[in-house]
A and B are shown apart, each in its own frame.
Chain A
Amino acid sequence: MQRPIATTRSATGIPTGRLAVWWVIASEIVIFGGVLGSYLMHRLGHPEWSHQSIHTNTWAGAFNTFVLLTSSLCAVLAHQAAEAKDGKKAARFLMFTVLGGLVFLIVKSFEWSHEIHEGFTLTSNTFWSFYYTAAGLHGLHVIAGMVIMLIIMPDVMKNKELQRVENIGIYWHFVDIVWIFLFPLLYIAK
């Protein structure tokens, strides 16, 4: 198959697709860093937020951390299978990763429904504004990762474009890292 020059050329020695993912992650560091840094500064300046943060469900957050860590493991196993040129196995592990994302979102939707029902909405208080913004932005990234995995899966299954498994894996692990920081900030620091 004829590939565009930009796809095959690599000045850095890193395959172009993977390099693009690293650039995406570099920009995401600033995006999430800005949100989490702002949250942290406000949290330290507003001791009264502790009366709000006690209402977040630590167990739901911990379970979701477990789910994301496990889905990251599936992404690693998918990458290993892709390295071994076993597209079917890689696609299967990608599917498990997507399922992990789905479980994460389902737990989140129950959590948010309960919180909104209790009266804690986006505009209730600045703590809740940060809570919904940070977790919502993260949730959108989870959805984006799931969609990309579903898009690449048919080709992967046919042993085509297997390098994409590693690329989406790198992205997924980053989404996992963001949650690793969100969890203590929103659920443990009471």
Chain B
Amino acid sequence: MKIWAILLGLLVVSVAGPFLGIRVVTLITAFGIALVKAYIVAKYFMHINLERKFVTYLLVTMIVLMGLMVGAVSPDVMKHDGARWENVAAKKAVERGEAAAAAGEGHHAEGGEAAPHAAPAEH
């Protein structure tokens, strides 16, 4: 019950964080607290610390593999150009989205039109 109360307290902080309007604070209250909450649930609800070490090694291995995948792919996805390549589709999607928002056309103008081109597949 005490752990549950702590988790709810952390939830309130993560919801309240963005109201301060400070980007760094929002990042910490949203994602930092998510990590803390996940740790608390894994330790006190799943009792992973009382389980054989094999389980921790197994799960950590999976998280590392996931991190490797994200780390290896992220430069291609997050950057839209490099020394010898340019992701034209992604750049156009960004431009379209920003233009639609600036024009106040809302989601309806952007929707549908952006979808087929939004995936940054052309390198």
Q: Which residues of A contact B78 (CB under 8 A)?
A: 41, 44-45
Kindly list 20 other residue pairs between chains A and B, CB separation below 8 angstroms, not including A62-B11, A125-B115. A26-B62, A29-B59, A29-B62, A34-B69, A41-B77, A45-B77, A45-B80, A69-B7, A73-B45, A123-B111, A124-B110, A124-B114, A128-B111, A129-B115, A173-B45, A177-B41, A180-B38, A184-B31, A189-B26, A190-B18
A158 within 8 A of partner (CB) = no
Q: Which of B70, B73, B90, B101 contacts A46 (CB 8 A)?
A: B90
Answer whether A45 and B90 are a contact pair too, CB < 8 Å, given A22-B59, A173-B41, A184-B14. yes
Q: Specify the main secondary structure of chain A where it touches its partner.
A: helix
B119 contact set on A, CB distance < 8 A: 126
Count CB-based A-B contacts (< 8 Å): 164
Produce 1/0 per residue, B9-41, CB < 8 A to A: 001001101100000001000110110011001
Q: Which 5 A-B pairs rank lowest in CB-CB distance, beginning with the nearest?
A: A48-B97, A33-B66, A124-B111, A184-B30, A37-B70
Among B1, B52, B115, the residue within 8 A (CB) of A13 is B52
> Does B88 lie at the interface of the complex (its beta carbon under 8 Å from any beta carbon of A)?
no
The chain B residue with its CB closest to the CB of A11 is: B54
Distance in angstroms from B51 CB to nearest chain A CB is 7
With A33-B66, A124-B107, A125-B107 given, is the CB distance from A48 to B41 under 8 Å? Answer: no
Interface string of A38-49 (1 = CB under 8 A from B): 101110111111
Question: Is the beta-carbon distance between B17 and A22 smaller than 8 angstroms?
Answer: no
How distant is the Cα of A72 from the Cα of B5 in the complex, in angstroms? 12
- The segment from A51-59, A86-94, A146-154 that touches chain B is A51-59
Report the Cα distance A176→B42, complex, angstroms: 10
